[in-house]
Amino acid sequence: MLDAVQQDVLDRLREDGYAVLPLDRLVPQPEVWAELESDAQSFVADTEAGLAQERAGGESNLGRRPGKEFVVRGKGYGVELGLDDPWLRLGASRRLLDVANAYLGMWSKLEYLDLWYTPPAEGGERQVSQRWHRDFNDRRLVKAFIYLVDVDEGAGPFEYVPRTAPGGELEGLWPWRPLGENYPPEDELAEKIADRAVTFTGPKGTIIFCNTSGFHRGGFATEKPRVLATFTYSSPASLASLTERSYRFVDSLEGLDPPTRFALS
Ligand SMILES: O=C(O)CCC(=O)C(=O)O
């Protein structure tokens, strides 16, 4: 059962492949946001201290992944998480999970969650996910991105081409295939989509739901850092949902309701 806010997100996801709204419409409890914001502030402070250390020629323990070094990750792959983590609680909450599950038409796995800090690029070209691409994981999946700072053009906003996900009117553009051509030439794609791409600039606290098997890109910050939290919900049939799960759930599953238990196990 979805309430009106969740139903509206679902309708827009089905129609366009994305939906955007203030997180507090979906999760109106101020104490939830206060805890997330305070955790986000610690992440930003630790990251900025680590970056300053690196700039001074020292070493840091900032989390980065080979191939996508431009993002500093608050959690990273292999992290152990329990229900004391406010981000895990949010990602596994029925407010978000029910939307993802309704869209996928099945109970999903919470495959990935992380906090990302993307410092401004020092010149150079767009790399990997800063370029237009489809995600490989599955034909249908849902990602949520929650901005933890105000994001304008200079902070590398997320961008999406509505209706390019499988089932959408533009699905035929370099169509999604398992291990397909997920990164077409940027200029050819830009020509084909003309002005149909949506750029998600928005204030802190904005949440974007998106089926990222449609074309998307982002994180090409040029002037200021972008900070966000991100969750991926995918079908249990997607190999990535089990083999690439980014965290290990180390709390008890006892007492959790069945969809939450499924998402975390
Ligand atoms: O950083 C971004 O805005 C794009 C992220 C992305 O491509 C993804 O999560 O699949």
Residue whose Cα lies nearest atom 3 of ligand 1: it is 218
- Residue 42 contacts residue 117 (beta carbons within 8 Å): no
Residues of the chain falling short of pLDDT 50: none
Instruction: Give me ligand 1 centre to Cα 197, in Å.
Output: 15
Q: What is the pLDDT of residue 242?
A: 67
Ligand 1 pocket test target in 216, 220, 230, 244 with most atoms within 8 Å of CB: 216
Cross-strand pairs, 254: none
User: Tokens 């919900």, residue?
Assistant: 233
Q: What is the pLDDT of residue 162?
A: 98
pLDDT digits (tens, 9 = 90+) for 205-230: 999 999 999 999 999 999 999 999 99
Q: What is the pLDDT of residue 84?
A: 97
Is residue 232 in contact with ligand 1, taking CB distance under 6 Å?
A: no
Is residue 147 in contact with ligand 1, taking CB distance under 6 Å?
A: no
Is residue 129 in contact with ligand 1, taking CB distance under 6 Å?
A: yes
Instruction: Give me ligand 1 centre to Cα 147, in Å.
Output: 12
Ligand 1 pocket test target in 136, 158, 244 with most atoms within 8 Å of CB: 158
Atom from ligand 1 closest to the CA of residue 118: 1
Instruction: Give me ligand 1 centre to Cα 254, in Å.
Output: 33
Alpha-carbon gap, residue 211 to 14, rounded angstroms = 9
Ligand 1 pocket test target in 68, 128, 129 with most atoms within 8 Å of CB: 129
> Nearest to residue 132, comparing CAs of 220, 30, 41?
220
Q: What is the pLDDT of residue 97?
A: 98
Residue whose Cα lies nearest atom 6 of ligand 1: it is 129
Is residue 140 in contact with ligand 1, taking CB distance under 6 Å?
A: no
Alpha-carbon gap, residue 242 to 245, rounded angstroms = 5
Stated length of the chain: 265
